[in-house]
Structure 1
Amino acid sequence: MKENGEWLDSLALEKQVSAGDIPKIELYIDQVIELFEEIFADAKRNSEEKILTKTMINNYAKGKLFYPIQNKKYSRNHIMLISLIYQMKSVLSISDVKKVLDGVNEKAMQHEWDLESFYASFLELQQSNVEIFKGIFHKQSEEAERQAEGLEDADELKEVLLIASLVHTSNLYRRAAEKMVDELAERRKGK
């Protein structure tokens, strides 16, 4: 494995669809896909991986993960919502993503909420999370190295321990997110 800093850089963790990346004009589905493919090209696991497809976006629309489009064109708000879906779907089920975005969609569609300000806050939080993750990763890497020290095949054992630790940490975050989704859905039912 490369040195931690170099290795972390190869993950392209800072990649995100910023408000500045989103054109001020509405886009057709192919243009939306191209935008995401271009921005997340370095974050793909392999060259065959697709960031977004027409089928995915159409399924999000059918599942009402974002409010209806007009004239087959996606507004800036739609693209921000698709970006949120893209970030959440790798951890949460589509039904959980829908639960989270239900209130956001409703308020954005009725222009009761400034989605762009909300999205800017999300992007700032995302950048902060990247820095926090890098610190956690370094600590987990050091701990895995300490645990593997002096053992046969220490380098490989360190990598396996680090992978297991990262998976465990990911599961902790996923479980916390799922619990929060359930609590949010319950509060909304009570209103």
Structure 2
Amino acid sequence: MKNKKELIESLNLENQLSLEDIPNLDLYMDQVIQLFENKFAASKRNDDEKVLTKTMINNYAKGKLFFPIKNKKYSKEHLILISMIYQMKSALSIKDVKMALDQLNSKITDENFNLQRLYHSYLDLMDKNSAMFKNDVDEHWKDINNEVKELDNNHADDEVYLEQVLLVATFSSMSNYYRRAAEKIVDDMKKEGNKDEA
């Protein structure tokens, strides 16, 4: 099993699409895909995995996850939204991601909302989340190590495996807590949206 440091390094937690990474000119779809592939290639689980495809982008457009493009080109605001979609879709359904971003898309098109300022805040929070995650991993690792040591000595040969099982179970559990909390917030957004329409 990888040690704690190797595990955290392999996750590429600091790998975010910064505002500086996004050109100030509009991009065609192939250029968008290339930008995301270059930026997030190290975050892929295996070489066969695709960061972003034409089908994905077309599905986001058809599903109205971002406001319509002009002249087959994607603006800086589109790339910011696609970056947020990329991060959220690993934990939420596309339907929930759409619900979360729906009002934001309206603000961008109707109110000339400054999405770049919001995205800057988002990136700051991602940095803080990364630091908190590293601390949490450290705490979980210590707790699990102590738990495994307290198990029956007959399992000493299985110590590494038992640690792995408990780490997987713990990380899955924490992931579920955060996903469920995000889903509850999306459900509240949906209820508030329905009130506004009534």
* TM-score normalised per structure 2: 0.94
- 1:83-162 equivalences under 5 Å are 83-149=83-149, 150=153, 151-152=155-156, 153-162=158-167
1:38 aligned onto 2:24: no
**Aligned mates of 2:27, 2:111 — CA distance in 1:** 20
In structure 1, the gaps of 5 or more residues are none
1:177 aligned onto 2:182: yes
**How many residues end up aligned between the 2 structures?**
191
**Aligned mates of 1:50, 1:2 — CA distance in 2:** 25
Using the TM superposition, give the Cα deviation of residue 111 of structure 1 relative to its aligned residue in structure 2, in angstroms. Answer: 4.2
**Aligned mates of 1:43, 1:13 — CA distance in 2:** 8
Residue 40 of structure 1 aligns to a residue whose secondary structure is helix
**Aligned mates of 1:110, 1:38 — CA distance in 2:** 32
Match of 1:54 in 2: 54
1:166 aligned onto 2:139: no
**Aligned mates of 1:9, 1:2 — CA distance in 2:** 10
Moved more, 3-12 or 32-41: 3-12
* TM-score normalised per structure 1: 0.97
1:26 aligned onto 2:11: no
- Identity within the alignment, %: 50
**Aligned mates of 1:85, 1:2 — CA distance in 2:** 30
User: Which entry has the higher C-alpha Rg, 1 or 2?
Assistant: 2
Using the TM superposition, give the Cα deviation of residue 189 of structure 1 relative to its aligned residue in structure 2, in angstroms. Answer: 2.1
Q: Deviations over 1:115-148 (max 9, x none)?
A: 0000111111111111111111111111111111
> Which AA in structure 2 matches 1:32?
V
**Aligned mates of 1:99, 1:112 — CA distance in 2:** 20
